[in-house]
Amino acid sequence: MRHAAIFFHYVSQYMKTRLTYRVDMLMEIMSDLLFQAVNLIFILVVFGHTQLLSGWSRDEIIFIYGFFLVPFAIFGAFFNIWDFNERYIVKGEMDRILTRPVHSLFQIILERMELESLFGMVTGIAVMIYAGRNLGISLTWYDPFVFLVMVLGGAFVYAGIFVLLASISFWSDSRTSIIPMMYNIGNYGRYPVDIYNNVIRFVLTWILPFAFVGVYPAAYFLGREDWYVYAFLTPVVGGVFFAIALMVWNVGVTKYRGAGN
């Protein structure tokens, strides 16, 4: 309850700050929507030259892309830690974090919130509805609950990977970071993994499981029964990766040496 109260207090203060500069917030939202539109146009351009991509139709891939946007929006809103190394390790702001009686990762999540990223969920759901109607997808009463569980699982996959990468900074205070590169690799998860070779498919499934953010959980709603096992593993993989990341983070905090001079 204490953490929930702190969370909602931070959200309240964040919204007050952002609404002070409403045009700036609106421009950021429009920028995100434009970026998502460009990716959608890319898919449409590809299917302007072919009818199927490794057995997947245009609307199926559009549906996968829409699903991907939902957990990615949650991740972008609450785990915006791409500059963790530069800001908290190199500049020493981790010293300030560790003086407070609240878990360090929880504090950083609150400080780095970008709630406007949640508008990506609206875009993703709209894209899914569009593609789902074209595909004639019908839902059962329990599918919204399955959707919620898989979305949270996908968000925790992303969060686990990037928290794990950020934790490396506790052992190395170098200014270089592989997190920006990992953002680009993560984009592979919004396409069917069977369009890649076996090595990349294995990496995207078990090493850097970005496939559990988009294609695998979306396959359940697309009726791809041969991929149901992977689909239902989504919350498991998300929980396991985030738990591992949290363990490594807690160990890394004990290795933190401070900014020094």
pLDDT, residue 186, reads 81
pLDDT, residue 235, reads 96
Partners of 56 in the β-ladder = 53
Phi, psi of 52, rounded to the nearest 5 degrees: -135, 150
Residues listed for the chain: 261
Distance of CA 227 to the CA centre of its chain: 21
How far apart (Å, rounded) are the C-alpha atoms in residues 89 and 51? 49
Amino acid at 228: Y
Give mean pLDDT in consecutive 10-residue pieces for the chain, a chain of 261 residues. Answer: 85 80 74 74 70 82 92 92 85 88 92 87 91 92 95 96 91 69 79 87 92 94 93 96 96 82 51
User: In sequence order, what DSSP letters do the residues of 87-111 get, joined into one string?
Assistant: IIIIS-HHHHHTTSSS-HHHHHHHH
pLDDT, residue 177, reads 64
Question: What does the block give as tokens for 169?
Answer: 């900074």
Query: In whole angstroms, how far apart are CA 51 and each of 19, 174, 261?
Result: 45, 47, 60
Helices 2-20 and 104-111 cross at an angle (nearest 10°) of 20
pLDDT, residue 194, reads 86
Amino acid at 261: N
Residues 6+ apart with CB under 8 A from 40: 62, 65, 127
- Angle at 209 (CA atoms; ends 204, 211), nearest 5 degrees: 65
Element containing residue 52 per DSSP (H, E): strand 52-53
User: In sequence order, what DSSP letters do the residues of 118-186 get, joined into one string?
Assistant: GHHHHHHHHHHHHHHHHHT----TTHHHHHHHHHHHHHHHHHHHHHHHHHGGGT---S--SHHHHHHHH
Residue 130 CB: number of other CB atoms within 10 A?
15
Considering only CA atoms, which of 232, 193, 195, 228 is closest in space to residue 210?
Answer: 193
